[in-house]
Amino acid sequence: MAWHSIPIEEVFLRQKCGNTGLSGAEARARLAESGRNSIAIKQEISPIRIFLNQFKSILVLLLLLAALVSLALSFINPEEAEILDAILIFAIVIANAVFGFIQEYKAEKSIEALTRMAAPKATVLRDGGEVEIDSEDVVPGDVLILREGDKAAADARVIECFSFYCDESSLTGESVPEAKKAGVLPEKTPVADRSNMVFMNAVITRGRASAVVVRTGLKTEVGKIAKEIADAPDKVTQFQIEIEDVGRKVSLMTLAILAVIAATEFFMRTGDLLFIFITAVALGVAAIPEGLPAVVTLALSMATNRMVKQNALMRRLSTVQDLGAVNVICTDKTGTLTENVMTVTSIFQDGWSFEVTGKGFDRIGEFIPLSGGGSVRDMDMLLKCAVLCNDARESGDSFKGDPTEIAVLMPAYKAGMDAESLRARLRRVGEVSFSSDRKMMSTANSDGRSSYGFVKGAPEILIYRCTRILSRGKVRKMSQKDRDEILGHNNQMAAGALRVLGFAYTESPKSYEEKDLENDLVFLGLMGMKDPPREGVKEAVDDCRRAGIRVIMVTGDNKYTAEAVGRELGFGPKTMTGEELDTLTEEQLAKAVEKIDIYARTSPKHKVMLLRALKGNNHIVCMTGDGVNDAAAIKNSDVGIAMGIRGTEVTKQASDIIILDDNFITIRNAISEGRGTFDNIRKFVVYLLGANISEVLIVFLATVLMLGLSPKIAIQLLWINLVTDGLPALALGIDPPAKDVMHRRPRIKGERMIDANTVYFMASIGISATIAILAVYAHMVSLGDAPLAQTVLFITFVLLEMLTVYAVRWRYNRGIFGIATNKWLHLAVLTSVLLGFAAISPPLNPFFGTVPIGIGELEEIGAGLLGFVILLAIALKLEPLIVGSRGKPQKGAPNAAPHSVF
């Protein structure tokens, strides 16, 4: 039903109510029929569901399978297989799940605390009188009583109103409050222009009104968007895809090698099933990087904790990695790039122009002359007019009232004027409220001896109500030249996207009626205001551009305001409006989004159109916003960012990240952290997988070549993979971001963490280690002391994998031994070495089937380590010939797209 397009009498008829509201009994009946006035369609936070979600990874499922096989073997043949293996694997899986659960549960609870969507109370007419009720109990047909500071509880049609303005920016994106009035509008009037309607969550900034509720809950404009968002499927991040892909490849590799061993055992040997199962567990333990799920979770958790300290709350851990790949940011203007506080920046008075410094509620500022002369003393009457013809008031450290009125109040404070004392001395004795028809407001003020009328309004109208002008402290007749100069300056300020108000006064008005207060006035001056860019945002936008990230402004504000902010922040000169977007074909839109950086007068559908076009051009898009109107685009973007202060519940639930301070600078910092985290994850993934390749090959070759392996090999490999490898991997995860992290171009869409060069590097590590370790092990086996040989195999594994840590750091240009870069890494390596030797020393060595070793064995191990270094150096020298040059990201140029193996 188009409630805005029918007479109010018909609205009452269809809603079966009147302008006196409903009875209590009727309201209860309607509540039972229509349901509660709520858009909360999100499921309650379920700790069990969040915990179970941690077990969806293929790697985790493989570990569980290995644990179950090991458990079964421990009952079938306890001499060959111990239950300790199964317990350790289960412990790893549970620890990983606990880490992930804690982080995600904390994030969900934080979001729950942040969301304050619905108005908690509403004033309605019930049984002929005003009553305050829970907003969820509002029903269709209720008559809302709306006053300044209230938040609308539902969609309602205005019955009557007085100087009534609403801030609907959360729905429409408009930064300036909209004037509302009773009346009938055309059926096809856009939501943003329905001046006879108030919508759920609109904040009343001025005046009062009564309105009849026509839609509640999910049927409201906000509710419709909330339902669309809730119905959309959850997106899967690129990082989740890559980790699952690695898991599948590891699974297939393990099964293939196991098939070879099983075939060899059946056709060439005894066909011992128990041997095959024990080997299967050993292979599973060797192939699966047990520490990887835990290390990934911990690294992401630490990254998210660092980001929270920088005011960025991650809702999903895996989003951290995707942040580093973003190459386009579509950002809202109001409150993200700008302060979301109107600020007077320019004053024109008696031919003199002043720049006013200070932003928002800052009471300290300067008046810098730009032309002519003049001083703050000359503005005394102008500033008094701005204070007295004003309904805004102090509220603690802040102010309460219409944003425009707060803005024109601030210059008086900056000039040292005591506004409250002035109001007490010149008390208001009459007023004519602002109306959109007159475009002005006037007050009558008196100190008991003298009385004045003060007026503010649209300059192009106010100027023709003035017959005189205050010049050099004296009142004189206004000439046509004065009018032309004032109107010319007004146009100049408006062209700079300033919202301009004119001020005038009269002495000893005959009455306090409109005809006497608003005619034969003395002109005082002009004030131009805007919502200025946030401090530091220009530098943050520049940083993003240097990092190869394009920043696009998408706003519901008008074209001129958007262009003015864009100029200050270095955006391109081209602008396109939502109306112009509607005329483009898909092909034209795909071309336009590559050239235009500012989009004005956009609606929710335009944001989705832009997002679709950018993603269609293979961009990885981050969409930011705060209002309900942003939620659909945020949900469908690669990385969705909601604002924590101004953001609505719908938007927060649709997002991946919540910016707690609503600042674009925090987005820049989050991207930097995301890039650094990606680098670290790649380092420890390469480290762990490279080490596991050698473990798999050695288990396979030792089995096929009948060199013999300890029955304790599974628990030995578990100790290596989890304890000795896990600590250095975790330390790699906290490497500080590289200094050039925001000077690189983003990764190209489709580029994987594990590309051809990375696979070659891991294979080089694995094969070099296999040759070196097998040579040492075969020599020790030939000496006839199996326990000693297996101990040397174990320690060689431990020490060689510590060398691999530094090889990985060298590979990624982080230095090898620089203590200043990551002291925790060197401590982790030392601890891992000590833990490795602890496993071959009493009292732990019986659990691992190892024996103490001497100098001779250490010399054998040293020779193996030297052989590994030589073989790895040779392999890396051959890399350009085999897979091509690795290349380095170039400043100002996209990365070369490597061939993706995984």
Write the CA distances from 824 to 734, 819, 820, 821, 830, integer angstroms: 8, 8, 10, 9, 10
pLDDT (0 to 100) of residue 247: 67
CA dihedral 151, 153, 154, 157 (to 10 degrees): -60
Selected residue with higher pLDDT from 406 and 306: 406
Neighbouring residues of 329: CB distance < 8 A, sequence distance ≥ 6: 544, 549, 550, 551, 552, 621, 622, 624, 667
Q: How far apart are CA 677 and CA 323, in angstroms?
A: 9
* Residue 386 pLDDT greater than 50, yes or no: yes
Taking residues 227-248, report their average pLDDT.
66
Taking residues 595-601, report their average pLDDT.
92
- CB distance 741 to 676 below 8 Å: yes
Q: Which residue has the tokens 């001499």?
A: 79
> Which candidate, 505, 501, 498, 561, places its Cα nearest to that of 530?
498
Q: What would the pLDDT profile of 727-777 be if each residue is shown by its tens digit?
A: 888 888 777 777 778 888 887 766 667 778 888 998 999 999 999 999 999
CB atoms near residue 208 (< 10 Å): 15
* Residue 322 pLDDT greater than 80, yes or no: no
pLDDT (0 to 100) of residue 275: 59
pLDDT (0 to 100) of residue 889: 42
Looking at residue 456, its amino acid is: K
Q: Which of 167, 322, 332, 755 is catalytic?
A: 332
pLDDT (0 to 100) of residue 792: 94
- CB distance 440 to 434 below 8 Å: yes
pLDDT (0 to 100) of residue 338: 87
Neighbouring residues of 273: CB distance < 8 A, sequence distance ≥ 6: none
> Which candidate, 536, 537, 544, 540, places its Cα nearest to that of 743?
544
Taking residues 252-271, report their average pLDDT.
67
How, if at all, do strands 499-507 and 521-530 pair? Answer: antiparallel
* Residue 169 pLDDT greater than 70, yes or no: yes
pLDDT (0 to 100) of residue 892: 40
Instruction: Cite the DSSP H helix spans in 583-647.
Output: 586-592, 604-616, 631-636
pLDDT (0 to 100) of residue 259: 75
Provide the token pair at 57. Answer: 């990874």
Selected residue with higher pLDDT from 581 and 285: 581
Q: What would the pLDDT profile of 659-707 be if each residue is shown by its tens digit?
A: 888 888 998 888 888 888 888 888 888 888 888 888 888 877 887 776 7
pLDDT (0 to 100) of residue 78: 66
Q: For 420-431, give one letter per residue: b (16+ CB within 10 A) or e.
A: eeeeeebebebb
pLDDT (0 to 100) of residue 102: 75
Q: What would the pLDDT profile of 544-596 be if each residue is shown by its tens digit?
A: 999 999 999 998 778 888 888 999 899 988 999 988 999 999 999 999 999 99
Q: How far apart are CA 731 and CA 806, in angstroms?
A: 12
Q: What would the pLDDT profile of 212-223 be if each residue is shown by its tens digit?
A: 999 998 899 888
Coil, strand or helix at 348: strand
* Residue 542 pLDDT greater than 60, yes or no: yes
Locate the DSSP E strands across 519-631: 521-530, 550-554, 575-577, 598-600, 621-625
pLDDT (0 to 100) of residue 447: 92
Name the most confidently modeled range: 218-222, 453-457, 841-845.
453-457
Q: How far apart are CA 73 and CA 82, in angstroms?
A: 8
Alpha-carbon radius of gyration of the chain: 35
Question: Which sign, positive or negative, has the C-alpha torsion 291, 297, 303, 306?
Answer: negative
Neighbouring residues of 222: CB distance < 8 A, sequence distance ≥ 6: 39, 170, 171, 199, 200, 201, 628, 648, 650
Looking at residue 455, its amino acid is: V
Give the distance, in angstroms, between the CA of residue 108 and the centroid of all CA atoms in the same chain: 14
**With helix as H, strand as E and coil as C, how does 185-231 read?**
CCCCCCHHHCCCEECCCCEEEEEEEEEEEEECHHHCHHHHHHHHHHH
Provide the token pair at 746. Answer: 């983003």
Taking residues 441-447, report their average pLDDT.
94
Q: How far apart are CA 658 and CA 681, in angstroms?
A: 23
Q: pTM of the entire structure?
A: 0.70
CB atoms near residue 573 (< 10 Å): 10
Q: How far apart are CA 781 and CA 767, in angstroms?
A: 20
Coil, strand or helix at 374: coil
Give yes or no: 391 in active site: no
